[in-house]
């Protein structure tokens, strides 16, 4: 059986649905018991509520698992201690392999939440467990919550310069990679960048305009507006500080990676933004 942590989030839900559809037995592990009903329909064989700060609870939650797909909470101040708890519990529960859902360029000290994840990667490498580390780019799907507003206003807005290059990835491709790296030993002890070809907001707006048949203009969202919205959503001070540093960093450097690893694991060319928009426009 495969365990998936943070199962109630965007990534966890997608991974569980994909694995279950393909016949894998999955245990969904969530933080809050009230999240269980929201993921029951995804096809998980088992559901358990357990906080990543509870090492004994994790040990119980991991009993009977052969592999763990470890998703950590995004921009959390306890990233490192959560990682240590997960690894200790994996070893205690005799889990054979851990696949860590990480992010691109964790060695960047100017991005605290990236750098904290690099410390977890180091602990995984030194743990003695079989491991795979997937360093994933930002999802194309991250624009979907603002899709209706984009259509209403005619602007595709992101909180960084419109000519910034970002290596985005389709979450559906990430799900395929998760399954492949969990089910094959070929990737054991490897670290892989999971990202598509770099693209700017200007290029995305052009593709959106073409496919949607109406003008969509690129726009940079004011950082203070982003922070105010995040604060209203209950983001922690650590997360707000991470956002303050992240978007100005993107202005200067973007977040760019090679798509070669993703293409190799998929056995095909990764999904591009044009294909993503076509698929979304057919659903809308």
Q: What pLDDT is recorded for position 34?
A: 73
Q: What pLDDT is recorded for position 124?
A: 98
Judge whether 238 lies within some domain. no
Judge whether 102 lies within some domain. yes
Asked if residues 208 and 216 have their Cβ atoms less than 8 Å apart, the reply is yes
Judge whether 264 lies within some domain. yes
Phi and psi for 134 in degrees, rounded to 5? -105, 115
Judge whether 252 lies within some domain. no
Angle formed at CA 84 by CA 81 and CA 90, multiple of 5 degrees: 140
Q: What pLDDT is recorded for position 32?
A: 79
Judge whether 230 lies within some domain. no
Asked if residues 18 and 175 have their Cβ atoms less than 8 Å apart, the reply is yes
Q: What pLDDT is recorded for position 37?
A: 75
- What CATH number is associated with residue 116? 3.40.50.720
Tell me 108's DSSP state.
-
Judge whether 202 lies within some domain. no
Q: What pLDDT is recorded for position 11?
A: 97
Which structural domain range is residue 109 located in? 2-136+171-195+258-270
Judge whether 226 lies within some domain. no
Q: Answer yes or no: pTM beyond 0.85.
A: yes
Q: What pLDDT is recorded for position 107?
A: 96
Q: What is the pLDDT along the chain (284 residues), one digit of tens a residue?
A: 999 999 999 999 999 999 999 999 999 999 877 777 778 889 899 999 999 999 999 999 999 999 999 999 999 999 999 999 999 999 999 999 999 999 999 999 999 999 999 999 999 999 999 999 999 999 999 999 999 999 999 999 999 999 999 999 999 999 999 999 999 999 999 999 999 999 999 999 999 999 999 999 999 999 999 999 999 989 999 999 999 999 999 999 999 999 999 999 999 999 999 999 999 987 76
Cβ-count burial 98-108 (b if 16+ within 10 Å, e if not) = bbbbbbbbbeb
Q: d(Cα 78, Cα 82) in Å, to the nearest integer?
A: 6
Q: What pLDDT is recorded for position 284?
A: 63
- C-beta atoms surrounding 180 within 10 Å: 15
Judge whether 239 lies within some domain. no
Number of domains in the chain: 1
């Amino acid at each position: 059986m495969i365990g998936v942590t943070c199962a109630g989030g965007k990534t966890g839900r997608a991974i569980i649905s994909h694995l279950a559809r393909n016949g894998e037995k999955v245990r969904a592990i969530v933080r809050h018991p009230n999240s269980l009903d929201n993921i029951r329909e995804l096809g998980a064989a088992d559901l358990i509520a357990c906080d990543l700060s509870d090492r004994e609870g994790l040990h119980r939650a991991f009993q009977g698992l052969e592999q763990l797909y470890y998703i950590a909470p995004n921009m959390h101040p306890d990233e490192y201690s959560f990682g240590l708890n997960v690894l200790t519990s994996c070893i205690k529960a005799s889990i054979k392999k851990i696949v860590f859902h990480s992010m691109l360029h964790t060695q960047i000290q100017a991005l605290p939440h990236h750098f904290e994840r690099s410390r977890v990667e180091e602990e995984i490498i030194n743990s003695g467990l079989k491991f795979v580390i997937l360093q994933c780019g930002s999802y194309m799907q991250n624009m979907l919550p603002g899709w209706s507003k984009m259509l209403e206003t005619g602007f595709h807005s992101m909180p960084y310069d419109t000519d910034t290059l970002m290596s985005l990835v389709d979450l559906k491709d990430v799900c395929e990679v998760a399954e492949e790296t969990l089910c094959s030993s070929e990737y054991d002890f490897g670290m892989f960048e999971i990202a598509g070809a770099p693209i700017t907001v200007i290029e995305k707006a052009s593709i959106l305009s073409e496919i949607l048949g109406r003008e969509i203009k690129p726009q940079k969202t004011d950082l203070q507006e982003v922070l105010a919205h995040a604060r209203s959503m209950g983001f922690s001070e650590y997360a707000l500080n991470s956002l303050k540093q992240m978007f100005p960093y993107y202005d200067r450097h973007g977040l760019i990676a090679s798509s070669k690893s993703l293409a190799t694991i998929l056995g095909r060319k990764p999904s591009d933004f044009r294909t993503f928009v076509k698929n979304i426009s057919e659903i809308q």
